[in-house]
Chains A and B, each alone.
Chain A
């Protein structure tokens, strides 16, 4: 009997591992294998189109070079600036729109659908579309500013305007994501708290600032972090819109990685920069999980 009990106890203890094991193995292989491969590639200098046997082992030198190369550091600066500006704009706009669309109004479902439409467009199409909109010769952007008497601007040929262009295209596409997240958060707010605020004489603005936003805090932080992670990985839109130009004014890290791998044919260096980018994105992901881990409540 004692043996049977011990066996049952062992089965009970190992059951979660046996059930979760296959999924963990699959996810582990799917996530870890490419990461380890990238690390391995970062230690080799290898050019696409040549046999792997022609690769030269260079150890960690590519990682050291990536950390000190002014081109990488510049690109990191552009990425940081881009991420900060787009996430800031998207959070402000998305939250404001969500608060507006939260109100029960006729035809609100149609408005919500329209507002989230940009998110459904493929990023490469977004890039091409904005490239035409910002075209100096026949772009709609120059037509619009022409209506208020401003002459045509070289949107994609000026460092500041090109940066503004990539920011605008990202804000256009991803503000709806913030909108959806905040709308979902708003629907989970306990109405009794709002009712209590109203009874206490709070104005609508005070209800937003003192009740709704504090209650949305964790949703807002997680949404901002998710957008930040995405902003660090943005490639397609900038690839189609500016390809990092003019000069390297809009050369965010993913564009630099692409050019290093496929233009300069330095796959090892590109992998090393990718691993560094992965570390930044991982740190942000850990922060996101620390702030709002869906598993946390279950453990308590």
Chain B
């Protein structure tokens, strides 16, 4: 264990004192499962890295052992499907991206959380579900409802947010100041400052994801919604290849031209690293960067970064979603997994993990004086959450194929110049329409 991990553990122990007290009251809740080992599938991600030291504390308090299977997050889906398809799942708790939830539920692979939350033997009376930021709960946990993937009549909760994301703009105040530039409030202002930053400051302007597949789709959708576009209309007809979509791809192409070298090969890690290593002046992506900037092992830009709202295009908007944790239906340890899930997403742990460099997902944490003292940027997050749109991507079961093999491929081709933005989007639209017909969404 490194010194840093040791310090995190000490902090975890101190911060968990209230939870210790509550744990004493809830001894019966955990007693049945003492000695049980649960297997948890977690991603290599800053939030989860920040949470790992607290897992030891959970075992100390409850006697439930936690074995973590950590992997690159885009590779979790295949592994999870294989594990959850077995008569008995080897995983007791999995980390999901919001876009996987409907597929898993359609295949009857996840346990609904409602019954466990209502079970007095398991439920923590202090657990405040209403405190969780609704956009996160809606985006990551809800399945059903009128659209099938958001809250509403008929929706059920299948996952709890953990490692949430909202897009914000991070910028190097020192560089913008030296060029006499103000942080961009709109996409027009943002696009206008790309060349001056690139040419005069001799640094990449905006870092961005761009790797073929999911990362390219994510980058595209990050801009589609603020620029006034949407993926489908109300009747599931493709809309993303309209003028807003073309502008979104053109914006990405400008980022490639003026940004740090290598954007077409960047996943989230490379994209964030470019900013943290001082190779770009602007970062427009998830709030995971809050902790990254302050992490001396990763960042060369601590003290030079300020934050602003995701710039306005045709409207203010920001992505909201990220990761959540869910329980496989065929897990033999569902109850123990639920106890862990409930504990790690409780109010006190949300504060503790946020202080350790993770991200907050509860309103109470966003108002916590201790968290705000360490991360004043959470004030901005609260403002940004007003503008988030939970429906910025259609999380239907077919989205995985659209994301990785259709849109992600074509947008990537546009970024490397083998297709024009319009051509890439029109080809994608045709392929997506075929998928939607196959899925029964479109009749003709």
Contacting pair A156 B401 (CB below 8 A): no
B273 engages A137 (CB within 8 Å): yes
- Max chain A C-beta neighbours (<10 A), residue from B210, B266, B270, B405: B405
Cβ of B206 within 8 Å of any chain A Cβ, yes or no, is no
B77 partner residues in chain A, CB cutoff 8 A? 262-263
Cα-based distance from A265 to B262 in the complex (angstroms):
30
> Is the C-beta of A50 less than 8 angstroms from some C-beta in chain B?
yes
Q: Are B270 and A264 in contact (CB under 8 A)?
A: no
Is the Cβ of B213 less than 8 Å from the Cβ of A155?
A: no
A157-B416 contact in complex given A137-B262, A259-B404, C-beta closer than 8 Å: yes
Q: How far is the CA of A88 from the CA of B415 in the complex (A)?
A: 31
Q: Contact: A154 with B265, CB < 8 Å?
A: yes
CB of B109 within 8 A of chain A? Answer: yes
Instruction: Indicate whether B211 reaches chain A with its CB closer than 8 angstroms.
Output: yes
In chain A, positions 250-267 with a C-beta closer than 8 Å to chain B are 259-260, 262-266
Measured in the bound complex, the distance between the Cα atoms of B86 and A48 in whole Å is 11
Q: Which A residues are CB-close (under 8 A) to B211?
A: 157, 243, 245-246
Q: Verify if A195 is at the interface (C-beta below 8 Å from B).
A: no
In the complex, B409 has a CB within 8 A of chain A: yes
Q: Is A159 among interface residues, defined by CB-CB distance under 8 A?
A: yes
Residues from chain A with Cβ under 8 Å of B274 in the complex: 137
> What is the CB-to-nearest-CB distance from B431 to chain A, in angstroms, rounded to a whole number?
10
Bitwise, A30-49 to B at CB < 8 A (1) or not (0) is 00000000000000000111
Say how far A62's CB is from chain B's closest CB, in angstroms. 13
Indicate whether B279 reaches chain A with its CB closer than 8 angstroms: yes
The answer to the question of B263 belonging to the interface, with a C-beta cut-off of 8 Å to chain A, is: yes
Most buried by A among B84, B107, B410, B416: B416
B182 to chain A: which residues have CB within 8 Å? none
Cα-based distance from A153 to B416 in the complex (angstroms): 13
Scan residues 156-213 of chain B and give those whose CB is less than 8 A from a CB of chain A: 210-213
With A136-B262, A157-B265, A264-B400 known, 16 other A-B pairs at CB within 8 A are A48-B85, A152-B261, A153-B261, A154-B263, A157-B416, A243-B212, A245-B264, A246-B265, A246-B413, A246-B416, A247-B412, A247-B413, A249-B416, A259-B404, A263-B77, A266-B401
Chain B interface residues (CB < 8 Å from chain A) = 77-78, 81-82, 84-85, 103-104, 107, 109, 210-213, 260-266, 270, 273-274, 277, 279, 400-401, 404-405, 409-410, 412-413, 415-416, 418
5 A-B interface contacts by CB (under 8 A):
A157-B265, A242-B265, A246-B412, A248-B212, A263-B77
